[in-house]
Structure 1
């Protein structure tokens, strides 16, 4: 099961990379960031399919998108200088809390 969560984390990292490249590609007008978009999302979907062999789609997608949103918000802040106000930080904390609730208390997080 730890391997499954490792694959999920790898999928999220690829997705975070691809989304960051999407911002940097400036609507696909810059070559290398555009290549990064394709590479990032291809890797994300590949590892996402490996996770789906073990975890149900709804739970997997909830965790993937939740963790991805947190990392993308961090990436936007760190790399692109996008600000996070207190409401955004509170929302991110609630997303993290939701992911923890799913994994700690739900029986749906396993086949």
Structure 2
């Protein structure tokens, strides 16, 4: 269970860091740049903790981390950064989530 807690922290930190990466404007803005570095540091450290507890398989943990992070980051882009969304965006997010679910089902079966 602790593995999933650290994985959740990794996902939230990665989403935060990615949003701050956009706000950093190519690392020309000091505070968003610092927040980006700290956020990614926390994300990778938390991901490593989730794996070192040996409760999560690498493929499953990475699929959840990258898939959920990508899907939520796309939603943040639309909501916070006013980026446009189309049916392709929605379809892509649904497919990412479906892929994560399938990998988790496969991982749980073994």
Structures share a fold, TM > 0.5?
yes
Q: Could you tell me which runs of 5 or more consecutive residues in structure 1 were left unpaired when the two chains were aligned.
A: none
Shift of residue 61, structure 1, vs aligned partner:
1.2
Query: How many residues align structurally?
Result: 108
Q: TM-score, normalised by structure 2?
A: 0.90
Secondary structure of residue in 2 paired with 1:50: helix
- Counterpart-to-counterpart distance in 2, 1:109 and 1:21: 34
Where do residues 1-111 of structure 1 align in structure 2 (5 Å cutoff)?
Answer: 1=1, 3-53=2-52, 54=54, 55-103=56-104, 105-106=105-106, 108=107
Shift of residue 58, structure 1, vs aligned partner:
2.0
Report if the CA contact (8 A) 2:63-2:103 is conserved.
no
Report if the CA contact (8 A) 1:56-1:110 is conserved.
no
Secondary structure of residue in 2 paired with 1:80: coil
Q: Which 4+ runs in 1 deviate beyond 4 A?
A: none
CA, structure 1 residues 98+31, in 2 after alignment: closer, same or farther (shift >3 Å)? Answer: same
Q: TM-score, normalised by structure 1?
A: 0.89
